[in-house]
């Protein structure tokens, strides 16, 4: 593995002291290379032909965030610095990895800077361009994905009058994986009067995201959150209510207020069905044309703008061309990169990756959320992991045995967890984080579980599980209930019975789900849980308008990177999906489409469509004719293992470098040896899977590369090299307060880094502490 | 009629209403017949009234016959449509695991009752019609009890009747509460309906069977 | 575990299908039913046989994709589960398992065990919604208190996952449980009452047009429903429909 640094320097031809500040010198690029024969490093210096006066040269350029060596005092500094970046980039082909100092350019998030944070969104809405109702009828919009973001966007755009074409790979839009979200949706309603506010939700989200999210976007999210609840209730979403008939709330990890609205453990389902019903209304009116069982396989750009997509009909295998004036990607996250995740089997990165290959930057790919409470892996046959809602941590206490011998005895089945005395248990979250206890954010809880299991305290056969215990909650609720009913609070059996009733009312469906899968009764014995991949904060880079770097191509929901920084708080994914789809995109897309009112229908007969379709056909035929020896799942599983082991809950330089090489090698093997049965023109699930895994195999490499470049620890991204003596994540705000946005350059390894510096004007960057 | 036939729900409601009507008739029929066990005179009085009252004969009787025919035709229509809605049949279908035999085989119990009705009409209704409207014989208010007793002298007939009453019980045991469900009645009183349903479905056929056996044994 | 599997194989919508027998070894009781099918498919591909196509996605019992008729029952012998939540511990070593697609005229087979359930979507297009635009100006969510009992009932009806087990299991292939769940959810909430008349008429008409059978109140749907949707909803829909028919 070669790893190269490129640095800038001045070409001194005589000792430095002999120069005066007005002398002009040539800037050169320096890099090291290893001589193959002698295996020794040597420095290569290459002149750039760009000259700079000594007084304009910034010798500390590598310390400043822009990494521009020529100071503003040179009137041509912009032009010169840009030329330097371009020249440095021209070397990229020879290098696998460009490490610090990184060569990159700043990208503009287009956040309105004229007004203060709280007024930005209103100001922006008042100043962006609109499309008149008569003209909306002339404009087509494609929406890929029908989850919370895609479904709500499609419905709202159609309501506004655009002609919407919506696509999903499932047999019905109602089956998008948003449906599986359990816990709830946050909103700054302050119905509980516990001091919640838009600002507090904004603050919690930025803090929870470990200060790696864009302030203005998060504030906007918090601002519209209350509208989401109003909208959903108006649509008939049956949120939980209290006996007064008003909406109920519960509390989630990482916050100190109760702002989470919920519908038992099926909040995602209810919200998605709400969005689906809004879509149905528009489908019925003919304003949405629904294409289910269709997979997007490429983006078509005409004249530099996104003008359509190529899809495959999953039933007939037909390749179709669809044109529109704008394309919205709402295809969700890429957690299935890990093979085992809580994502649905079909969840994939293909749509997002295809637009990345067509020019959309991919931001922070390494920011992945590992959810602490999932049902542990039971064996090699495992095809997916099941989440147990975070809401369980409201009442469940997490522990492992204090002594290794006890842990071993439990693993071997010699000791029952219920028989272990209270003093022999280690409630490690309560011990380490007394303020938040079991309700620390997800990344913290996950790492703590891994730490205990790595130390040998794991409690299931594989040694990768910890207990989530409800005994204390059952007793507490039982006593409360007995007291209310005027019964004997000391009657253990009665208290247990009453307590179980309360727990059942709160989490009944989750307990039932656990019992079905694990075959143990969680009312009697503690649940076993272990972290699993759940959500990807990273995604397609978008500006304040949610537009990617491809004009006319938008990304919303989990598919974009925008709001959660390096870690997402519980119950915020639903909030973001619906905020983007109902309340943000429908406004901001108009600003772009205002230019298209006279364009007229886009033809699908252009050479661009021709080319894109033929590329897709070539790829499909290559798979069908490959006749290799290994199934698609074989490669997917192998990829998952590499990523989980080397880019999982904790990452280090060596592992990441290995991962890059291994993923690349696996990708080559995949193209050589994959076996795809059947034909291209039929229902062929292995073929659909092969097309998805092909993209995961590219993303995997970029993922590891991004993790390698970010040498700090933040949120879900934990670099072993960057931790406090107590083992907590250690951020490096000086060097990494930015979004890494990668531009595709023909191969993942050559991706070019752009950065969006994150400016915190309203929040002070602090070390996250939940102690 | 056309409207009713066009909607699955209205078809079912029609089925339920005709069923409820027939159940009411059955109750009335039973109430009169059971008197034959206690008193010949009372039975003859009731029968004479029913047989000669113009309202009963020329308004209620046609309605009843229409109800019976409607209920049967509709039952068959539903069954044919329902079979068609499945399309290809299952290789293995374990209906018993989720629904009672009775509820799944109303067409069988109903068909048996239809066959019984043919016999029953042949036994009582046809001779009655012949007596009154074809041969136009003079009315004898005391003839009904005799005719009843006479019919049940034959053991085969009694056995056939009892078997039919068994199927009637099965049919009613689903039909009674089902009718309420079809017309949209399913609430906190449903348990009460279900209990009444049980009493009715067992009680009425048992009573009819008792009448048949009683007369067979006592004469 | 060793199993004999008898599975419906059908090349495409127009082909004639038949039951095929496969034997499978090395099945672990901890596997889910679909993981068992994965193992079978890997084995079939090794033997050069086209893998069995089946619908599946979330594999945690909520998306409603999976749709197998196992040993004569929708979603198999366990209760309140979907096929993906059914585990092999419910079967014994040496068992023969029959696997068929969900069958109904309005659910044509696409391939093997995959059926087309878009009829359900079309019923929803006809009226499965409350007509409210996204404006951000709807009244405050707490403006109309809703009695907890009604809210809970509406929620219970709303948990339907649209899998089609009710249709598959009903001897009449009736879709009443599915349609009534949606009608009930809205009928129970004040927000939904405004359009209740049109909704129930339109949805039931669409259901009839799709060619589903008549409900005969056997109650099989309620038993096989993975979410335990109650028959009470069907009665409620009947009532709503009757009142609506009367009004129009």
Asked if residue C188 and residue C126 are part of one domain, the reply reads yes
Residues C46 and C81 in one domain: yes
Cα-based distances in Å from A384 to A335, A377, C44, C59, C84: 11, 9, 21, 7, 11
Interface residue A177 vs chain C (CB under 8 A): yes
Copy the structure tokens of residue C30. Answer: 């901890």
Same domain, C88 and C133: no
DSSP β-ladder status, A326-329 and A553-555: parallel
C237 and C132 in one domain? Answer: yes
Put simply, whether A206 touches C (Cβ < 8 Å) is: no
**Going by beta carbons, is chain A in contact with chain C, meaning 3 or more pairs sit under 8 Å apart?**
yes
How far away is chain C from the Cα of A387, in angstroms, using its nearest Cα?
Answer: 9
**Best mutation target, C31, C87, C141, to test chain A (most A CBs within 10 A):** C141
Q: Report the sign of the C-alpha dihedral through residues A237, A238, A240, A241, in that order.
A: positive
**Quick count: other Cβ atoms within 10 Å of Cβ C232?**
18
> Over the Cα atoms of chain B, what is R_g?
19
Assess whether C124 and C216 both reside in one domain: yes
State whether B84 and C237 contact (CB < 8 Å).
no
**Which letter, b or e, does each residue of B178-196 get, where b requires 16 or more Cβ atoms within 10 Å of its Cβ?**
bbbbbbbbbeeebeebeee
Out of C217, C224, C245, the one facing B178 most closely (by C-beta) is: C217
Considering CB atoms only, which of B8, B78, B91 is closest to C100?
A: B91
Q: Tell me the pairing of strands C73-74 and C18-24.
A: unpaired
| pLDDT higher at C21 or A81 | C21
Which is nearest to A185 in space by CA: A276, A278, A273, A268? A268
Query: What chain A residue is nearest to C60 in terms of C-alpha separation?
Result: A386
- Rounded CA separation A467/A335 (Å): 25
Same domain, C189 and C225: yes
- For residue C47 the two structure tokens come to 């033997």
Counted domains in chain C: 2
Compute how many other C-beta atoms are within 10 angstroms of the C-beta atom of residue A302: 17
Residue B89, in any domain of the structure? no
Q: For residue C179, what pLDDT band results from cuts at 50, 70 and 90?
A: very high
Give the gap in angstroms from C-alpha A738 to the nearest C-alpha of chain C.
32
Please count the residues of chain C: 248
- Rounded to the nearest angstrom, the minimum Cα separation between A728 and chain C is 33
Within a domain: residue B96?
Answer: no
pLDDT at position A389 is 86
Token pair recorded at residue C77: 């012998």
Q: Which of residues 5-64 of C touch A (CB under 8 A)?
A: 11-12, 28, 30-32, 34-35, 38-39, 42, 45, 48, 50-51, 53, 55-64
Asked whether residue B137 is assigned to any structural domain, the reply reads yes
Strand (E) positions, B2-115?
none
C145/C168 same-domain check: yes
- Position of tokens 């979330």? C58
What's the alpha-carbon Rg for chain A, to the nearest Å?
27
Task: Look at residue B4 and tell me whether its pLDDT is greater than 80.
Answer: no
Domain boundary among C79, C111, C143: C111
CA C246 to each of CA B6, B181, C197, C201, C240: distance values in angstroms, whole numbers, following the listed order: 15, 18, 10, 11, 10
Specify the pLDDT at position A94: 52
Question: Could you give the count of Cα atoms lying within 13 Å of B118 in the half-sphere of its Cβ?
Answer: 6
Residue B161 belongs to a domain: yes
CATH code: domain of residue C224 = 1.10.1060.10
Domain boundary among C77, C111, C145: C111
3-class state of residue B181 by DSSP = helix
Q: Rg for chain C (alpha carbons), in Å?
A: 20
In which domain, by residue range, is A699 found?
606-757
Position A569 scores a pLDDT of 92
What pLDDT was estimated at residue A275?
Answer: 98
Euclidean distance between CA atoms A76 and A349, whole angstroms: 42
- Angle (nearest 5°) at CA A91 between A86 and A94: 155
CA A315 to each of CA A673, C107, C115: distance values in angstroms, whole numbers, following the listed order: 26, 14, 11
Do C78 and C162 lie in one domain? The reply is no
Nearest by Cα to A338 from A566, A644, A634, A558:
A644
| E strand residue ranges, C10-47 | 18-24
List, in order, residues 6 or more apart from C44 with CB less than 8 Å away. C22, C50, C51, C52
Taking the CA of residue A179 and the nearest CA in chain C, the distance in Å comes to 6
The size of the B-C interface in CB pairs under 8 A is: 151
Give tens-digit pLDDT for A705-743: 999 999 999 999 999 999 999 888 999 999 999 999 999
Q: How far apart are CA A38 and CA A419, in angstroms?
A: 65
Average pLDDT over residues B170-184: 95
Domain identity same for C88 and C132: no
Angle at A261 between CA A516 and CA C164, to 5 degrees: 45
Q: Give Dmax (Cα) for chain B.
A: 62
- C191 at interface of A, judged by CB pairs closer than 8 A: yes
Cβ distance B2 to C205 under 8 Å? Answer: no
Does residue B57 surpass a pLDDT of 60?
yes
Encode burial over A626-663: b for 16+ CB neighbours within 10 A, e otherwise. bebeebbbbbbbbbbebbbebbbbbbbeebbbbbbebb
- Which residue, chain included where needed, has tokens 């809401």? A391
Helix (H/G/I), strand (E/B), else coil: A247: strand
Nearest by CB to B104, from C19, C218, C237: name it.
Answer: C218
Q: What is the distance, to the nearest Å, from the Cα of residue B161 to the centroid of all Cα atoms in its chain?
A: 12
C75 near A CB under 8 A: no
Asked if the Cβ–Cβ distance from C103 to B89 is below 8 Å, we say yes
DSSP secondary structure letter of residue B138: P
Last residue of a domain, one of C61, C92, C111: C111
C79/B contact by beta carbon, under 8 A: no
* Any domain includes B92: no
Catalytic residue among A442, A447, A667, A768: A442
Do residues A668 and A721 touch, judged by C-beta distance below 8 A? no
Q: Report chain B residues whose CB lies below 8 A from the CB of C220.
A: 95, 98-99, 104
Q: Show the domain range for B52.
A: 2-81+101-218
Q: Does C80 touch chain B (CB under 8 A)?
A: no
C147 touches chain A (CB under 8 A): yes
Q: Are residues C157 and C177 in the same domain?
A: yes
The answer to whether residue A498 sits within a structural domain is yes
Please name the residue of chain C whose CA is at the shortest distance from the CA of residue B179.
C217
Range of the domain at C202: 119-247
Question: Does A442 qualify as catalytic in the annotation?
Answer: yes
State the sign of the Cα–Cα–Cα–Cα dihedral A449, A450, A455, A458: positive
* Distance (Å) from the alpha carbon of C64 to chain A's nearest alpha carbon: 7
Nearest neighbour of C238 by CB, restricted to B82, B93, B183: B183
Joined together, the tokens standing for residue C4 give 């004999």
Task: Tell me, yes or no, if A242 comes closer than 8 A to chain C by beta carbon.
Answer: yes
Task: Say how many domains are in chain B.
Answer: 1
Cα separation, A739 vs A549, in Å, equals 14
A 353-412 residues inside an 8 A Cβ radius of C? 378-379, 381-384, 386-387
CB-based contact B95:B104 (threshold 8 Å): yes
Q: Do A238 and C110 touch (CB under 8 A)?
A: no
Give the model confidence (pLDDT) of A212-231 as tens digits: 999 999 999 999 999 999 99
Examine residue B60 and state whether it is found in any structural domain, yes or no. yes
**Could you give the number of structural domains in chain A?**
3
Largest CA distance in chain A: 94
One domain for residues C84 and C137: no
Enter the pTM of the model.
Answer: 0.91
Residue with tokens 């072993």: A720
Query: Nearest by CB to C126, which of A276, A284, A292?
Result: A284
State the pLDDT at residue B1.
Answer: 52
Q: Token pair of C231, please? A: 């028959």
**Mean pLDDT of chain C, nearest integer:** 96
Q: Stretch B40-53: mean pLDDT, rounded?
A: 93
Determine the 3-state secondary structure of A107 from DSSP.
coil
Q: What is the DSSP letter of A392?
A: G
Tokens of B8: 């699955």
Q: Which residues of B touch C (CB under 8 A)?
A: 6-13, 78, 81-82, 84-95, 97-100, 103-104, 106, 174, 177-178, 180-187
What is the ipTM score, two decimals? 0.98
Same domain? For C36 and C107 the reply is yes
C169: nearest CA partner in chain B: B95
Residue B87 lies in a domain: no
List chain A residues with pLDDT less than 50: 1-3, 95-102
Cβ(A203)–Cβ(A215) under 8 Å? no
The span from the CA of B150 to the CA of B59, in Å, is 29
| Other Cβ atoms closer than 10 A to A437 | 16
Neighbours of B26 (CB within 10 A): 16
Mean pLDDT of C187-208: 96
A469 contact partners, CB below 8 Å, separation of at least 6: A396, A397, A398, A399, A417, A526, A527
Is the same domain home to A384 and A518?
A: yes
Q: For residue B178, is it within any domain?
A: yes
**CA-closest candidate to residue A45, choices A96, A16, A8:** A8
Using CB atoms, pick whichever of C59, C128, C145 lies closest to residue A345: C59
CATH number of domain containing C32: 3.10.20.30
- The chains found to touch B (3+ Cβ pairs under 8 angstroms) are C
In whole angstroms, what is the distance from residue C142 CA to residue A248 CA? 10
Interface A–C counts its CB contacts (< 8 A) at 211
pLDDT by residue (tens digit) across C31-76? 999 999 999 999 999 999 999 999 999 999 999 999 999 999 999 9
Residue with the two structure tokens 């993303």: A699
């Amino acid at each position: 593995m070669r790893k190269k640094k490129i640095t800038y320097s001045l070409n001194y031809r005589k000792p430095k002291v002999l120069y005066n500040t007005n002398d002009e010198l040539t800037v050169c690029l320096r890099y090291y290379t290893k001589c193959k024969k002698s295996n020794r490093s040597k420095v290569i210096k290459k002149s750039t032909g760009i000259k700079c006066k000594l007084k304009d040269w910034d010798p500390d350029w590598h310390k400043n965030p822009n990494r521009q060596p020529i100071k503003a005092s040179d009137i041509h500094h912009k032009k010169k610095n840009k030329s330097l970046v371009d020249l440095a980039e021209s070397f990229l082909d020879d290098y696998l990895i460009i490490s610090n100092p990184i060569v990159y350019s700043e990208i503009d998030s287009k956040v309105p800077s004229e007004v203060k944070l709280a007024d930005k969104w209103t100001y922006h809405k008042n100043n962006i361009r609109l499309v008149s109702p008569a003209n909306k009828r002339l404009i087509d919009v494609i929406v890929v994905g029908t989850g919370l973001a895609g479904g709500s966007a499609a419905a709202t755009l159609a309501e506004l009058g655009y002609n919407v074409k919506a696509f999903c790979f499932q047999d019905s839009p109602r089956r998008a994986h948003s449906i599986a979200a359990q816990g709830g949706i946050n909103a700054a309603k302050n119905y509980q009067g516990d001091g919640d506010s838009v600002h507090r939700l904004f603050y919690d989200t930025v803090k929870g995201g470990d200060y790696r999210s864009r302030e203005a976007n998060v504030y906007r999210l918090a601002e519209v959150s209350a509208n989401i609840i109003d909208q959903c209730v108006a649509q008939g979403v049956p949120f939980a209510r209290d006996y007064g008939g008003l909406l109920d709330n519960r509390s989630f990890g990482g916050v100190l207020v109760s702002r989470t609205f919920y519908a038992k453990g099926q909040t995602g389902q209810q919200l998605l069905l709400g969005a689906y019903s809004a879509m149905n209304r528009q489908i019925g009116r003919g304003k949405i044309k629904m294409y289910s069982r269709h997979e997007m396989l490429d983006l078509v750009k005409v004249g530099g703008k996104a003008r359509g997509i190529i899809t495959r009909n999953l039933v007939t295998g037909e390749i179709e061309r669809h044109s529109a004036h704008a394309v919205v990607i709402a295809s969700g996250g890429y957690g299935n990169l890990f093979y085992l995740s809580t994502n649905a089997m079909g969840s994939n990165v293909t749509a997002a990756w295809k637009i990345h290959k067509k020019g959309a930057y991919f931001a922070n790919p390494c920011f992945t959320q590992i959810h602490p409470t999932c049902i542990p892996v039971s064996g090699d046959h495992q095809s997916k992991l099941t989440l147990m809602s975070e809401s369980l941590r409201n009442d469940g206490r997490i522990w492992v045995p204090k002594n290794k011998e006890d842990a071993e005895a439990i693993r071997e089945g010699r000791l029952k967890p219920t028989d272990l005395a209270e003093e022999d248990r280690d409630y490690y979250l309560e011990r380490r984080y007394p303020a938040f206890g079991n309700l620390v954010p997800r990344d913290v809880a996950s790492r703590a579980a891994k730490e205990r299991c790595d130390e040998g305290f794991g409690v299931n056969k594989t040694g990768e599980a910890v207990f989530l215990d409800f005994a204390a909650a059952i007793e507490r609720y039982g006593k409360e209930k007995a007291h209310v009913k005027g019964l004997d609070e000391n009657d253990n059996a009665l208290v247990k019975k009453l307590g179980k009733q309360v727990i059942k009312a709160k989490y009944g469906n989750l307990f039932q789900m656990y019992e079905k899968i694990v075959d143990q009764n969680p009312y009697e014995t503690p649940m076993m849980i272990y972290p699993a991949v759940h959500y990807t904060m990273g995604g397609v880079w978008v500006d304040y308008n949610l537009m990617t770097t491809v004009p006319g191509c938008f990304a919303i929901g989990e598919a974009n990177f925008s709001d959660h920084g390096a870690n997402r708080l519980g119950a915020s994914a639903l909030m973001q999906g619906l905020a983007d789809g109902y309340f943000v995109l429908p406004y901001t897309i108009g600003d772009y489409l205002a230019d298209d009112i006279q364009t007229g229908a886009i033809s699908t007969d252009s050479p661009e469509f021709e080319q894109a379709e033929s590329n897709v056909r070539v790829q499909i035929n290559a798979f069908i004719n490959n006749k290799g020896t290994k199934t698609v799942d074989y490669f997917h599983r192998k990829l998952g293992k590499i990523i989980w082991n080397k880019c999982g809950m904790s990452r280090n330089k060596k592992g990441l470098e290995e991962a890059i090489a291994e993923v690349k090698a696996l990708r080559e093997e995949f193209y050589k040896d994959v076996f795809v049965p059947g034909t291209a023109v039929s229902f062929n699930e292995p073929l659909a899977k092969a097309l998805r895994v092909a993209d995961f195999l590219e993303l995997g490499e970029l993922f590891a590369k991004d993790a390698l470049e970010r040498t700090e620890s933040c949120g879900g991204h934990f670099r072993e090299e960057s931790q406090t003596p107590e083992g907590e994540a250690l951020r490096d705000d000086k060097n990494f307060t930015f979004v890494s946005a990668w531009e595709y350059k023909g191969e993942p390894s050559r991706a070019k880094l752009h950065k969006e510096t994150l400016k915190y004007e309203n929040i002070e960057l602090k070390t996250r502490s939940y102690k | 009629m056309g409207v009713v036939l066009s909607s699955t729900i209205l078809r079912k409601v029609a089925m339920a209403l005709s069923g409820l009507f027939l159940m009411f008739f059955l109750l009335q029929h039973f109430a009169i017949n059971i008197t034959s066990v206690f008193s010949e005179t009372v039975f003859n009085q009731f029968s004479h009234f029913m047989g000669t009252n113009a309202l009963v004969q020329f308004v209620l009787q046609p309605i009843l016959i229409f109800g019976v025919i409607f209920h049967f035709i509709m039952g068959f229509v539903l069954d044919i449509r329902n079979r068609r809605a499945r399309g290809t049949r299952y290789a293995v279908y374990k209906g018993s695991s989720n629904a009672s035999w009775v509820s799944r085989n109303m067409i069988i119990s109903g068909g048996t009752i239809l066959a019984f009705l043919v016999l029953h009409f042949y036994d009582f209704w046809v001779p009655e019609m012949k007596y009154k409207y074809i041969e136009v014989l003079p009315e004898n208010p005391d003839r009904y009890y005799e005719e009843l007793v006479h019919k049940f002298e034959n053991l085969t007939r009694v056995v056939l009747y009892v078997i039919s009453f068994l199927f009637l019980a099965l049919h009613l045991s689903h039909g009674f509460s089902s009718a309420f469900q079809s017309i949209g009645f399913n609430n906190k009183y449903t348990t009460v309906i279900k209990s009444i349903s049980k009493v009715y479905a067992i009680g009425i056929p048992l009573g009819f069977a008792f009448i048949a056996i009683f007369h067979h044994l006592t004469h | 575990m060793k199993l004999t599997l008898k599975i419906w194989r059908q090349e495409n919508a127009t082909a004639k299908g038949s039951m095929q027998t496969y034997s499978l070894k090395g099945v672990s009781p901890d596997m889910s039913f679909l993981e068992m099918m994965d193992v079978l498919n890997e084995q079939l591909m090794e033997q050069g046989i086209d893998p069995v196509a089946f619908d599946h996605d979330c594999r945690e019992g909520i998306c409603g994709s999976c749709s197998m008729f196992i040993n004569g029952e929708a979603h198999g012998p366990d209760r309140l589960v979907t096929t993906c939540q059914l585990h092999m511990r419910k079967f014994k070593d040496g068992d023969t398992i029959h696997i068929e697609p969900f069958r109904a005229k309005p659910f044509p087979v696409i391939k093997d065990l995959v059926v087309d359930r878009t009829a359900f979507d079309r019923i929803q297009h006809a009226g499965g919604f409350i007509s409210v635009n996204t404006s951000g100006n709807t009244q405050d969510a707490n403006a109309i208190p809703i009695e907890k009992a009604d809210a809970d009932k509406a929620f219970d009806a709303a948990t339907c996952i649209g899998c089609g087990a009710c249709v598959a299991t009903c001897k009449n292939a009736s879709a009443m449980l599915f349609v009534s769940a949606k009608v009930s959810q809205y009928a129970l909430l004040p927000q939904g009452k405004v359009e209740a008349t049109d909704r129930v008429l339109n949805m039931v008409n669409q259901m009839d047009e799709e060619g589903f059978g008549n409900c005969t109140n056997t109650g099989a749907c309620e038993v096989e429903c993975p979410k335990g949707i109650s028959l009470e909803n069907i009665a409620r829909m009947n009532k709503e429909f009757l009142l609506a028919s009367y009004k129009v």
